Chains A and B, each alone.
Chain A
């Protein structure tokens, strides 16, 4: 299988400009800047079926096409490297192993949307990532790959690294913009969408780190080449982050459309100690959980959506038969209760309420009505909030209760104290 995103990961000093240049580095950017127009770049990306790999899966070329070129305001590219979704750790690898691939993607994207400033918003805990990225930016600046007149052309681009401060919600694109503007990370009401009114009120494209790292190879090899790597409408490969009860946890670059079974058993080495698989979260903690008999699903945005889950950020969390699903639901709910920004009422009050309810169930103090009310309370959050966080609470936590109902009922029957 052809490696795209991880092609340089194994090289010595893969994060250095020197190494990157030796391996066809910045040739795609040169091609775009010297031989293509912005709209041609966007067309190529549209052909590639590249989709937003931060989790939403929105077609990238289409997103860029929304930038109104007639708007006299400056345009911005914001790179979402906040990577806060539990179970996800792929952007970190890109930052640290191949930052120039990201920078090349940034250059091409900015050229396509006529932007001269890009902000990379990096998760605050990723100190090493920020250092590696900053070093790469410095190298690129001093070698003419960034700054004024890139590679002898008239195109200027400035890239700024901005650390996040630890809030999960700042990975939500509009909350990220608020945070970047120096405000509290509250998601914005939409419309207007960032493509029209984004950072500092200007047209803005927000893309995930992994998404942008695909841009260089697409320009180098053509959109059709990239589209063929994946499944229909889901171009290219993805970085799947496998964690939990597997023999070989880690980041795997595999084509979109590979089955979940293949990832777990062929690539991640299966379940340790001969235990049995019980459940898998296929796309970060916000994705509804899958049972062991659902793992023949193809891992792409459309196939996972069809079975009621989502591809999300590609964070695969594997749970074997020793896992208490009430506990797992409680942990997920605790995360959401802790990270709800508190802006709109259903999510603010609901996420905490759901967590308290699940805690009570897990700890053994629950009565039948606690379980009977739970799905209703969970269901009232999603669909009624400003951003998709509320939907995530409803879909993910709700899936544990509906798919493993028996375990929840047993908790009430057992009446074991776990405080």
Chain B
């Protein structure tokens, strides 16, 4: 464990640590373009050069390993001068088209120029023109060769992470240009990540470009609900200007670093899976074809429950719900009413790979299993409903038409007294349900998901629920209140504290302890 000094601060780090990593531990961020912690070191941008005592030349911090007794200066006049000079070189042939560049506001050229550049231009000749300005290189990404600083992060990403090797740097010297290989397209399941790692405006996302200036974005820490991996994400939403044609609030999703789950990456299907948040939503409770007040809707559910027996109530919970939602469902329907409750519907496995994409497309299968257990069986519940053995079927989000066919669902609607569908988005089942209840989507929810590694992770509400929709736990609590058996939870955190007390695996957890990185369920 070598001891070294960086900017006067002493630190001990494991052998093999590079200066840039050691500095990071001290909270010193050394500027970088080509360096990315999850990619092999290229050492080509030269902006991370630092002064190492007893070394005649400046050293690149991304590649130089620490040594015992090393004294590093990251802000000496020599270093600052070198940074300025590297920036000057990088900007010599850069088009400086910031006003029309979508990266503006989160561009490292801009940031470092303001921090370390601030020189007057010495360029008195013409810039090198690259072949192509902005062009499509695949279904998701646009490339602007002029803005590229040839840091090769994207090349290394496709070489080492996806192993698809679409990118190459062609030609030589100041005519070098980034491109995809002839006849190839950037078309892999993780293509969007190259936009995240591009430090400048060379690679932009077709889905996001020109939709919103990044300084209007607010960021909410969340977890991707697309599969059981539970990749950590940031929901980037427009705080003040819902001016897009579709009135969408979410502008984009970005991966959030979690070394234990998704590192810096997310897959494309997760990245672009946000349009449902503002599309095709159920906006108010509806009984038969009539919009009703929440009170009336709840009254109908309560009446039905009160007029029947426990064995004639079936509940299809869902692994799309949060642990908190599921726990409140358990409390009311399983523990109090002793009804049939299950969440495991016969879904076909989705596509998967050996990296981040899991076949189970539910974010909370592990959580549902730990909270609801596995006594009843969804298939049996549906069969019972179909055969008229249930008075109430309460479905959370599942599209039964897709899972069991129209016939079955039509039979259920005929044979049950009350067929409740509670969900966020309209699907074919809504047309058959007697009562449709609008619930909020994950981006409007506070709560936790448990991923396939048994890791309990927080999601947070980015904005208020759309229309009259409410959190699933809240709706179920409302029903409980109508039944005269109130569940007096103040909010999801309150529910979670009860989970911790009740469900063994969650022992010792709290929202504070889960934090941003999650906690593993105890066996």
Residues of A within 8 A of B (CB): 167, 184, 189, 337-346, 348-353, 356-357, 360, 367, 369-370, 373, 376-377, 380, 383-386
Contacts and interface: CB of A to CB of B under 8 A. Distances in A.
A360 B122 CA distance: 14
B17 interface: no
Contact of A342 (B45, B58, B175): B175
B86 A348 contact: no
B485 to A, nearest CB: 68
A376 B57 CA distance: 17
Q: Of residues A167, A184, A349, which shows the largest number of chain B Cβ atoms within 10 Å of its Cβ?
A: A349
B173 A367 contact: no
Nearest to B125: A356
Contacts of B41: 189
A373 B124 CA distance: 10
Contacts of B245: none
A369 B123 CA distance: 10
Contact of A380 (B43, B89, B93, B126): B89
Q: Of residues A341, A351, A353, A369, which shows the largest number of chain B Cβ atoms within 10 Å of its Cβ?
A: A353
5 contacts: A342-B173, A342-B175, A349-B93, A357-B125, A386-B44
Interface in B145-186: 149-150, 169, 171-176
B218 to A, nearest CB: 34
Smallest CB-CB A-B distances: 5 pairs: A342-B176, A352-B174, A340-B173, A349-B89, A380-B85
B90 interface: yes
Contacts of B28: none
A357 B123 CA distance: 9
B169 A349 contact: no
A346 B85 contact: yes
Given A377-B122, A380-B89, A384-B86, A348 B169 contact: no
Nearest to B124: A370
Contacts of A189: 41, 43, 63
A349 B172 contact: no
Interface residues on B, range: 20 to 34
B30 interface: no
A345 B86 contact: yes
Contacts of A341: 172-173
B124 A369 contact: yes
Interface in B43-99: 43-47, 49, 57-58, 63, 82, 85-86, 88-90, 92-93
A357 B45 CA distance: 23
B89 A346 contact: yes
Contacts of A353: 89, 92, 123, 125, 174
B93 A383 contact: no
B124 A345 contact: no
B43 A348 contact: no
B170 to A, nearest CB: 9
A224 to B, nearest CB: 34
Q: Of residues A189, A339, A376, A383, which shows the largest number of chain B Cβ atoms within 10 Å of its Cβ?
A: A189
A184 B159 CA distance: 14
A263 B45 CA distance: 43
Contacts of B88: 380
Nearest to A381: B89
A345 B149 contact: yes
Interface of B: 41, 43-47, 49, 57-58, 63, 82, 85-86, 88-90, 92-93, 122-126, 128, 149-150, 169, 171-176
Contact of B174 (A337, A367, A369, A380): A337
A164 to B, nearest CB: 14
B172 A344 contact: no
Contacts of A383: 57-58
A376 B122 CA distance: 10
Q: Of residues B44, B58, B88, B92, which shows the largest number of chain A Cβ atoms within 10 Å of its Cβ?
A: B44
B45 A344 contact: yes
Contact of B46 (A167, A184, A346, A360): A346
Nearest to B57: A383
A349 B90 contact: yes
A234 B174 CA distance: 38
B381 to A, nearest CB: 60
A341 B46 CA distance: 15
B95 to A, nearest CB: 13
A12 to B, nearest CB: 43
A375 to B, nearest CB: 12
Nearest to A391: B57
A345 B45 contact: yes
Contacts of A351: 173-174
A384 B85 contact: yes
B176 A348 contact: yes
A342 B124 contact: no
B340 to A, nearest CB: 62
A337 B58 contact: no
A352 B129 CA distance: 12
Nearest to B128: A352
B174 A349 contact: yes
Given A353-B174, A384-B57, 9 more contacts: A189-B41, A348-B176, A356-B125, A369-B124, A377-B122, A380-B85, A380-B89, A383-B58, A384-B82
A377 B45 CA distance: 17
Contact of B173 (A337, A346, A380): A337
Nearest to B85: A380
Nearest to B126: A356
A189 B44 CA distance: 9
A374 B262 CA distance: 48
A198 B315 CA distance: 66
B85 A342 contact: no
A386 B43 CA distance: 8
A316 to B, nearest CB: 27
Contact of B125 (A184, A360, A385): A360
A345 B45 CA distance: 5
A383 B57 CA distance: 6
Contacts of B90: 345, 349
A338 B44 CA distance: 18
A342 B92 contact: no
A385 B46 contact: yes
A118 B63 CA distance: 30
Given A189-B41, A345-B44, A386-B43, A338 B49 contact: no
A351 B175 CA distance: 11
B43 A352 contact: no
A350 B44 CA distance: 14
Nearest to A369: B124
B85 A348 contact: no
A189 B42 CA distance: 8
Contacts of B93: 349, 352
Contact of A348 (B57, B124, B173): B173
Nearest to B62: A189
Contact of B86 (A184, A340, A346, A369): A346
A353 B92 CA distance: 8
B172 A340 contact: yes
Q: Of residues A343, A380, A386, which shows the largest number of chain B Cβ atoms within 10 Å of its Cβ?
A: A343
A167 B128 CA distance: 21
A352 B171 CA distance: 14
B262 to A, nearest CB: 29
A373 B85 CA distance: 13
A346 to B, nearest CB: 5
B85 A167 contact: no
B89 A373 contact: no
Nearest to B60: A189
Contacts of A357: 124-125
Contacts of B150: 342-343, 345, 348
Contacts of B175: 342, 352
Nearest to B172: A342
A369 B122 CA distance: 8
